[in-house]
Structure 1
Amino acid sequence: MILVLRALGVGDLATAVPALRGLRAAFPDQEVALAVPDWLAPLVDLIGCVDRVVPTDGLTPREWGIPSPYLAVNLHGQGPQSHQLLLAADPQRLGAFACPAADHHDGPHWDPDEHEVLRWCRLLAWYGIAADPTDLGLRRPSPHRVPVGVTIVHPGAKAVGKRWAPGRFAALARELTGQGHRVVVTGSAAERGLAERVVSGAGLPGTSVLAGRIDLAELAALVAHGRLVVSADTGIAHLATAYGTPSVVLFGPVSPYRWGPPPDRPWHRTLWTQELTVPAGSSAPARAAGAGGPEPWRRDTPALASISLESVLDAVGEADRAGRERSAVTAK
C-alpha cells in the first residue's frame, strides 16, 4: 500500500493531483490510499488514481487501522506533526521533506516560495518518481443536476482576508448580467448569507443563490460546464483550472506565483496588487498601477480593496475571449 496524506481542502487536493498520478504510475501494483477529510471523497473520485479514501481530520493523532504501508508520502506539509502522523502508520519508508524535528533527514529542503503544484512534484522527483505538473485535469461529471453555461461568482473564502468586498461582488454580478452572462453565486452553507447579500445587491432573483444548495460533486459539475468563474484565491479557482473553464482569481495576502493557475493558459487571469492584471503563472517583475517605475512583486501586497471593479471586468473580458478562441480552435 502507498499511503498519502493531504488532509486539507479543495484547492489543496487539486494541486496535489499531478503528484498523486505520479505515485499511481510509479506503483501500478500497489493500492493507493489517500488520507483526506471524508467530505472530499466526491472530488477524490474525479481524480481517478486513488483506490481508497482514509477519512482523516487534519493532523489529529489517530490509529490508522490499515496494513503497514510500503511507502507513506507526506503531501500535507513540511512536518513535524504531519511526518509523525504518517510514521504512526508504521510505513517501511517515509517520503517527505527533510525535518530534523521529526528525525527525518531524508528528502529535499522546503522552499516556502515554491508553487504548490511544483512543490510536490519536486518532492517525488527526489525519490526518483516522475510527476507531470501540468497534469491537473479532473474527470468531467455529468451536468444533469446543475445549470450549464453559467458564470459563477464565488465571493467567499475560508480565510476572511482573501475575500473581496461583497458590495463589489454584487456590482460585478450586476455588470456581468447586463453583458449577457447568466450569473449564479456559489459558496458553502456557512456562506449562504454572503451569497444572498451579493445576489440582492446585484438585483438578481433568489434562484441565483446556489451557496449551500449544491454539494461538492455538483459544484465540480457546475464549474466543468460553466462559462466563467470569478473568485477569491480559494478552492473553486482550482476547479476552474482543472476543467479549463475561463477564470479570474483575486489574490490578496498570498502570491499567485504560489497558488495561481499555470502560465500557458491565457483563459485564466489573476489579479494581485492595485489594479494589476497578471497573466496566469507569470514570473516576471511587474509594475503596480500608479507606481513611478517597475518594481518586483512585494510580499506585503496591497489589500484586496485596491482591486477595482473595472480591473476585474477587464480581466473577465480577456479570460472570456481567450476561452472562446480556444474553443473555436478545438472545434476545428
Structure 2
Amino acid sequence: MTAAPGSVGPDDAARFPDGDVLVLRALGLGDALTGIAPLRGVRRAWPRRRIVLAAPAGVGGWLRSLGVVDAVLPTAAVDSLDGVRLDPAGLRPGHVAVNLHGRGPQSHRVLAETGPARLVAFANADAGHDGPPWRAGEHEVARWCRLVSWAGGPCDAADLRLPTPGGPRTAVVLHPGAASPARRWPVRRWSALARRLVEAGHRVLLTGSAAEAGLCTQVIAGAASAGATSGASMDPPGADAPAVSSLAGRLDLPGLADVVGRARLLVCGDTGVAHLATALGTPSVLLFGPVSPAAWGPAVDPHLHTVLWHGDGAGDPHAHAVDPALEAIGTDEAWDAVERALAAVAA
C-alpha cells in the first residue's frame, strides 16, 4: 500500500515554514478519536510545521476539516503493518515522524523508512529505538499524551473534546453494532431497550454502518413484536416519524457526529461511537465486555458517562461469540442505567 499526501503548495510553505510532521495512526474511529488529544500536543510541539496524518481517508479527512491536522496521507485501517509503506514523496525533507500507532517494531520501521530527521516513539529494542517506556494497561488517551508531552508537546485528556453542534438534545441513540461479535450485546436486549424507551415517550434512532443495517432492522422488528405483545404502539398517534428508526448506512462521519452530538443519550458497546460521545460531551451508557474501561473508557466528564462492566479485562475482543462479561449485563440493569442518565439530563 502506498500513498502520498500531495505536493506542498505555496500556502503550505508560508503557513508551515519549518516543514512537516508525519503522524501514523492507521486505525479505526475509536482510535482516531482517542488520538485527538495527542495530535493537539503535536501541534504545540511543532507549531510551525504542517501536520500530516497517515490514517484512513474518511476519519483523516474529517479531522482535517476540524483543523486537528493539516493534510492526510490515506491508508487503510490496519492492525498489522505487514507490507505497508508510506510514500514520503509529498513530504519536505527533514520531517519529524511521530508514532501514535503502536509500540513497534513494525510501526517504528514503517515510519523510519520515510527518512525522518527525528522519530518520536516508545522505546523498542527490536527496532533499535530509545524513547519513553510502554506501560501495559495505561489508558489509551493518557499513553499517547505521555509520549507527545515527553517530546515537547504538552497535552492531556481535556484536549480530546470537539465542538458540539448546539441546539436541543432530542432523540436517544442506540448503536447496537461493533467490529466483532465479542462486543455485540444480544439483539433481543437491544429490542427490549428500544421498546422501553418508546413506552417512556422517547424518540429512538439506531446508527450503524451499511453492513449493520440488517442488525438495526432486527432490533426494530424485535421491538415492534414486543410492543405488539404488550399492547404498546411503536408509532404513537400523531407522530411525524416512527418512534424507532434506523440511520444505518445513511450517515458519513460528519453526519454521525452531528446525530451523536445532538442526542439526549447514546447507548452502545465498547466501540468507536462511544468515543465520539465522549469527545462531544453527549451523555452515554456504555456496555463493556472483553476490554477494561480503565484502558478504553471515557477519559473526561465521568458525570456524563455510565459504564457497565462485569469483566476482568482478560476476554478476547476479537472472539466470534459475545463475551461472557458483556452478556452478563442484563436488560434490566441497562434500563436502570438509562433511566438514571435520562433523569440527570432532564434535571
Opposite residue 55 of structure 1, the aligned amino acid is: P
Give the CA deviation at 1:98.
0.8
The 2-side partners of 1:46 and 1:272 are apart by: 35
| Secondary structure, aligned partner of 1:54 | strand
Q: CA deviation at 1:207?
A: 7.0
Bigger Rg over Cα: 2
Query: Does the alignment pair 1:116 with 2:140?
Result: yes
1:84 aligned partner:
109
**Could you tell me which residue of structure 2 aligns to residue 268 of structure 1?**
305
For structure 2, which runs of at least 5 residues remain unmatched after alignment? 1-19, 225-233, 235-241, 316-322
2:49 counterpart residue number: 30
Which of 303, 322, 327 lines up with 1:305 in the alignment? 327
How many aligned residue pairs are there? Answer: 299
CA-CA distance at 1:116 after TM superposition: 0.3
| Structure 1 Cα separation of the partners of residues 284 and 326 of structure 2 | 17
* 46 and 175 in structure 1: CA distance in 2 versus 1, 3 angstrom threshold: farther
Aligned to 2:38: 19
Partner of residue 179 from structure 1, selected from 200, 212, 220: 200
Q: Is the alpha carbon distance of 1:62 and 1:129 closer, same or farther for their aligned partners in structure 2, counting shifts above 3 Å?
A: closer
RMSD of aligned alpha carbons:
2.1
Match of 2:238 in 1: none
Match among 229, 233, 237 for residue 266 of structure 2? 229
| 1:288 counterpart residue number | none
Instruction: State the secondary structure of the residue aligned to 2:159.
Output: coil
CA drift at 1:271? 0.6
Secondary structure of the structure 2 residue equivalent to 1:101: coil
CA distance in 2 between partners of 1:255 and 1:102 (Å): 29
| Distance in 2 between residues matched to 1:99 and 1:160, nearest whole Å | 33
- 2 CA distance for matches of 1:43 and 1:312? 32
The 1:142/1:269 distance shift into structure 2, 3 A limit, reads closer
**Given residue 200 of structure 2, which amino acid in structure 1 is its aligned partner?**
Q
1:1-332, aligned counterparts within 5 Å? 1-45=20-64, 47-57=66-76, 58=78, 59=81, 60-67=84-91, 68-104=93-129, 106-141=130-165, 149-203=170-224, 204=234, 205=242, 208-262=245-299, 264-273=301-310, 299=314, 302-325=324-347
Instruction: State the shift of 1:95 in Å.
Output: 0.4
Per the normalisation by structure 1, the TM-score is 0.84
Aligned-pair identity in percent equals 48
How many Å apart are 1:64 and its aligned residue? 3.0
Query: Do the aligned partners of 1:266 and 1:322 also contact (CA within 8 Å) in 2?
Result: no
Where 1:135 maps in the other structure, the secondary structure is helix
Q: Distance in 2 between matches of 1:309 and 1:65?
A: 53
Residues 22-47 of structure 1: per-residue CA shift (max 9 Å, x gap): 11122111101111111213431354
Distance, in Å, in 1 between the alignment partners of 2:252 and 2:336 is 31
Structure 1: distance between partners of 2:199 and 2:94: 56
TM superposition shift of 1:263:
5.7
In structure 1, runs of 5+ residues without a counterpart are 275-296, 326-332
Aligned-partner SS, 1:94: strand
Please state how far the C-alpha of 1:5 moved relative to its aligned partner.
Answer: 0.7
Amino acid at match of 1:316: V
Deviations 1:258-290 (A, max 9, x none): 00013642120101017xxxxxxxxxxxxxxxx
Q: TM-score, normalising length from structure 2?
A: 0.81
What is the alpha-carbon distance in structure 2 between the residues aligned to residue 39 and residue 78 of structure 1?
24
Higher relative contact order (CA 8 A, sep 6+): 2
Query: AA paired with 1:118?
Result: A
